[in-house]
Amino acid sequence: MRPRLHFTADRGWINDPHGVTFHAGEYHLFHQYVPESTVWAPNCHWGHAVSPDLLSWTHRDIAIAPGDGDEGIWTGSLVDDGGSTRIFYTSVAQPDLGLGRVRIATPTDPTWNTWTKGDIVVRPPSELDLIAFRDPFIMREDTNWRMFVGAATRDGVALALTYTSDDLESWTYDGVALSRSSDQVDPVWMGALWECPQIFDVDGHWAMVSSVWDNDVLHYAGYAVGDRDSYGAGRFSPTEWGQLSFGGSYYAPSFFRDEDGRPCLMFWMRGVVDAGAGWASCLSVPHTLAVQGGRLVASPHPELEVRRQTPLGSGEHAAAFDLVWNVASPDEELLLEGPSGKTARLTVSNGVVALERPGQETWTMPWSGERLRMLVDGSVVEVSSHRGILGGPIDPTTAWRSPNGDVEAWLLVPRR
């Protein structure tokens, strides 16, 4: 069941990735973690792992744990400013877990293995009637720092609130960076709360990526895109809205830049579980971002191509493989087979890519004739095109077959 290239906990539950940073020659990954549990609980910790290449991860000890006034250490971000390193996390406590506070932690040594909690630096603004407030994201803006925090009003408006600071310690509330009512559905519905809203530049454009939440139901990742002039002084006026992920697995994308400065996202993937081994959920492979025709496009990170070892033919077995499906005509299909005898099926027809799995809901994504890229890693599949990404849990898979399709495939190895 355990994938080889998708990060999982040794044991326990994981969800949102955050704070992905290249530091001192390696990548650091932090993530939401509930030890010794296969279901979510509010007493989340910040787990920690390191990697030379974003795919081969080594677990480290828990970075931050509940206590000292925190009943849960929820999602946030990391700022590494050449000697001034800070984690900004959502501190939650009863009686209202939904309204978090932003608290600081600082590393005790250059390895970032242990952290010391500091002050609560931001609380929900009292002038807004909020039911949710969480997930700080920090970026440099000119000579100052800017923070965005996800929020929701009682009357169904999703918000990205913003704060400014010149020292990463004292923060001033600066209003609403971007908002959208849950009544708006065209061209995409963006829910009543944006979890993990992140605003950043990519390809000379500005983009906002968030997780779409409504009434305690987690939906998908959505985005907004604008041109170079669409962002200024903490206010974003996008020209396009879209849906980035499809199906019921992807959620909580985390933005970061890789060693070469490329804009990237990594997602939490729900439903990938081995209860017998005591672990639940995985993280996606990293994806690089581009803006094409006004649409935000996510593609598997180039490191995946480094992992291609040998071509893999139809029916040949491998623990993990990478496929490019050059779809020649509608009504083609690709089969994913494994030792259980249960076959997942990918089909293209009538402008839709469909992922069909025995005994489970069929998930779909728009398709406009482009080739499809697929990563199959044991019990996980990820499908990407310029229309979005579709993926999630499958029965453990070791081979592919395509009765009438043009498919290129390679064995993937977990390490260089």
Distances (CA, A) of 348 to 244, 312, 381, 403: 19, 22, 16, 13
- CA atoms of 306 and 119, how far apart (whole Å): 43
- CA atoms of 330 and 20, how far apart (whole Å): 39
- CA atoms of 316 and 409, how far apart (whole Å): 10
The two tokens of residue 265 are 């996202």
Strands 12-23 and 279-283: parallel
Alpha-helical regions (H) of 234-335: 303-306
Q: Is the dihedral of CA 297, 238, 188, 162 positive or negative?
A: positive
Sheet holding 332-337, edge to edge: 363-366, 352-356, 344-349, 332-337, 399-401
Expressed in angstroms, the distance from the first to the final Cα of the chain is: 22
Residues near 245 by Cβ (< 8 Å), separated by ≥ 6?
Answer: 220, 221, 251, 253, 267, 388, 389, 390
Q: Using CA atoms in the order 29, 34, 35, 37, what is the torsion angle rounded to 10 degrees?
A: -130
* Catalytic choice (10, 16, 201, 377): 16
Residues near 248 by Cβ (< 8 Å), separated by ≥ 6?
Answer: 270, 271, 361, 363, 392
The two tokens of residue 203 are 């390809």
Report the number of secondary-structure helices (H) and strands (E) in the chain.
1, 34
Distances (CA, A) of 342 to 2, 85, 232, 274, 382: 17, 48, 52, 17, 18
DSSP state of 303: H
Active site residue 16: yes
Residues labelled catalytic: 16
